[in-house]
Chains A and B, each alone.
Chain A
């Protein structure tokens, strides 16, 4: 890891942000947002993961090859989730129920 050295204060700030976001997650878990419960929790978790990847894992300051590796893995994650949701979103559509006996 030649090159960029981040100041300690940045790491403490990111750590603080992660702690605050964790508190928000806990707080949000007690709110009844109906269908938005899971998307909100996932959105906060994704934001936290992004902070970890960019700063703690130094991807923000890494070579383009490293960024390509990270993007590739996200692309394949998108395939996993996208194609799976393709099934769940259309399940039961156009199915003709059997006639009543």
Chain B
């Protein structure tokens, strides 16, 4: 059947040529593609810093970098990956591309603001690059005071401004999504007929809009203290460094949910499609997204357990941190129940989803270790923490992002990639990831602190395993670049719905026309209808 498929004559990719047609576009799909390219470049740069860190840690001695240089390497790895890759990743690329068609709209509510948000990310990245070429920054991505405000002699202010500006990019994206989802749904598309991907992005947007301004102002306060000598966080002059940690983590803990919630939205779509079943417990999965968004704002001080906060508030934050695990568990159990008796298949997006289950489970459960007051004192600031958050932010968020990218790539480009190489890549990512980060749990538990370029000899074997894993992971991440680029020219034509998926976006041609739908779609049915009859029809499209 595939031989007879042709790309549509007119679609968003060939509707206008030249740089100007891209830089001044208001089409959410083109903006999504520019986001994709931008954050892929940032991911590569962040990955190079990570590689530098792992090469240094292959030997116990600090023989590749000076301690100061090493500090800059992990700081810039963190800054790039968090602010310029993970935060924009799934929402800005897949959310931007898919939310309008998923709700039957032609574009986002504010197309110009959408383009502005991309420009802001670029401006923020420009500040970061300035800081990089001016000598880098060494505060850690968390900009902890008083080191960042009083002591560090690296480029704190330009980096902080970069993060500040990219924060506004994130706020504008969230604002756009909230208004779009509220106001532009197709006739018949009630809230409880929305795809769970849209619910997840709605919850994410709430965090972006409500949390990001707090960190933005906090960063400004650091810059003001550093440049003009205001005593906000400096304890010598009556400031309070713990206040910075409170304000910073008020955003930066929910920021983890900005990364993971959209990935969870992807997983809901992928699991339902590749098990040919309606999602189990739709409303529970939808509301658990909102619950994560709200509970996520209540738990931040578990990052401060050893920073000198009151024991009583630490107990409350510990309890609340346990509570936030409940909605995540609700999702995981519902996905498992969706798989039960489904017609499960093993295409690449589903391999990423399986990987997500395992890695997110480990990442989530080790989060409970860290939420336990006594255990946290033992493993605080060790590699246990590093392993934990990489299981969430890489094992969870990036697996979801890559799964989504593979799932919707045919929609983005109209062509299929090599299933053989993409499966190999998914397996390499899973194996490489575990080889990289599981030893770090052990290192942390044995007491290896994070952020040092040298360590005692007995930690070397596990560190070499970790560095070897990073190399495998690197290959796993580079492979998709190759087969995705290859697919642009030589990939099989995908047709509108290669996976036989439900959902409005699969009713558009691939690649879609600029206006998405020729006629306003009207929704009559429930989401995720995978009765054999519907599936058969979908395959025949």
* Interface residue ranges, A against B (CB under 8 Å): 65, 72-73, 76, 79-80, 83-84, 86-95
Tell yes or no: B310 within 8 A of A by CB: yes
Tell yes or no: B518 within 8 A of A by CB: no
Are A94 and B312 touching (Cβ within 8 A)? yes
The interface bits of chain B over 195-212 (1 if a CB of A lies within 8 angstroms of the residue's CB, else 0) are 000000000001000110
**In the assembled complex, which residues on chain B have CB atoms less than 8 Å from the CB atom of A88?**
310
Are B246 and A84 touching (Cβ within 8 A)? yes
Are B297 and A79 touching (Cβ within 8 A)? yes
Residue of A nearest to B242 (CB): A87
**In the assembled complex, which residues on chain B have CB atoms less than 8 Å from the CB atom of A95?**
311
Are A93 and B310 touching (Cβ within 8 A)? yes
Residue of A nearest to B307 (CB): A87
Within 8 A of A (CB), among B287-315: 297-298, 300-301, 304, 308-313
Beyond A90-B310, A91-B310, A93-B310, is A83–B182 a contact (Cβ under 8 Å)?
Answer: no
Are B210 and A87 touching (Cβ within 8 A)? no
For residue A95, give the distance in angstroms from its CB to the closest CB of chain B: 7
**In the assembled complex, which residues on chain B have CB atoms less than 8 Å from the CB atom of A87?**
242, 246, 301, 304, 309-310, 313
CA distance in complex: A77, B310 (Å):
21
Are B301 and A83 touching (Cβ within 8 A)? yes
CA distance in complex: A89, B311 (Å):
11
Q: Could you give 24 example pairs across A and B, Cβ below 8 Å?
A: A72-B206, A73-B210, A76-B210, A79-B298, A80-B214, A80-B247, A80-B250, A83-B301, A83-B313, A83-B316, A83-B317, A86-B312, A87-B246, A87-B301, A87-B313, A88-B310, A89-B310, A90-B310, A90-B311, A90-B312, A91-B308, A91-B313, A93-B310, A93-B312
Residue of B nearest to A88 (CB): B310
- Most-contacted residue by chain A among B210, B247, B300, B310 (CB, 10 A): B310
Q: Is the interface of A mostly helix, strand, loop or mixed?
A: helix
Are B309 and A91 touching (Cβ within 8 A)? yes
Are A90 and B313 touching (Cβ within 8 A)? yes
CA distance in complex: A72, B247 (Å):
19
**In the assembled complex, which residues on chain B have CB atoms less than 8 Å from the CB atom of A89?**
310
**In the assembled complex, which residues on chain B have CB atoms less than 8 Å from the CB atom of A80?**
214, 247, 250
**In the assembled complex, which residues on chain B have CB atoms less than 8 Å from the CB atom of A84?**
243, 246, 250
Known: A72-B206, A89-B310. 20 other contacts (CB 8 A): A65-B182, A73-B210, A80-B250, A83-B317, A86-B310, A86-B312, A86-B313, A87-B301, A87-B304, A87-B313, A90-B310, A90-B311, A90-B312, A90-B313, A91-B308, A91-B309, A92-B310, A93-B311, A93-B312, A94-B311
Are A86 and B316 touching (Cβ within 8 A)? yes
CA distance in complex: A11, B210 (Å):
29
Within 8 A of A (CB), among B311-360: 311-313, 316-317
For residue A7, give the distance in angstroms from its CB to the closest CB of chain B: 30
**In the assembled complex, which residues on chain A have CB atoms less than 8 Å from the CB atom of B313?**
83, 86-87, 90-91
**In the assembled complex, which residues on chain B have CB atoms less than 8 Å from the CB atom of A65?**
182
For residue B195, give the distance in angstroms from its CB to the closest CB of chain A: 22
Within 8 A of A (CB), among B229-248: 242-243, 246-247
Can you list the 8 inter-chain pairs with the closest CB atoms, starting with the nearest?
A: A90-B310, A87-B313, A91-B310, A90-B312, A86-B313, A87-B309, A76-B210, A84-B246
**In the assembled complex, which residues on chain A have CB atoms less than 8 Å from the CB atom of B214?**
80
CA distance in complex: A92, B311 (Å):
8
- Most-contacted residue by chain A among B206, B300, B312, B317 (CB, 10 A): B312
**In the assembled complex, which residues on chain A have CB atoms less than 8 Å from the CB atom of B297?**
76, 79
For residue A72, give the distance in angstroms from its CB to the closest CB of chain B: 7
**In the assembled complex, which residues on chain B have CB atoms less than 8 Å from the CB atom of A86?**
310, 312-313, 316
CA distance in complex: A73, B206 (Å):
10
CA distance in complex: A90, B309 (Å):
9
**In the assembled complex, which residues on chain A have CB atoms less than 8 Å from the CB atom of B309?**
87, 91
For residue A77, give the distance in angstroms from its CB to the closest CB of chain B: 9
Residue of A nearest to B240 (CB): A88
For residue B259, give the distance in angstroms from its CB to the closest CB of chain A: 19
Partner of A72, one of B182, B210, B300: B210
- Most-contacted residue by chain A among B182, B214, B247, B313 (CB, 10 A): B313
**In the assembled complex, which residues on chain B have CB atoms less than 8 Å from the CB atom of A92?**
310
CA distance in complex: A72, B317 (Å):
22
**In the assembled complex, which residues on chain A have CB atoms less than 8 Å from the CB atom of B210?**
72-73, 76
**In the assembled complex, which residues on chain B have CB atoms less than 8 Å from the CB atom of A91?**
308-310, 313
Are B312 and A83 touching (Cβ within 8 A)? no
**In the assembled complex, which residues on chain A have CB atoms less than 8 Å from the CB atom of B182?**
65
**In the assembled complex, which residues on chain A have CB atoms less than 8 Å from the CB atom of B246?**
84, 87
CA distance in complex: A13, B370 (Å):
54
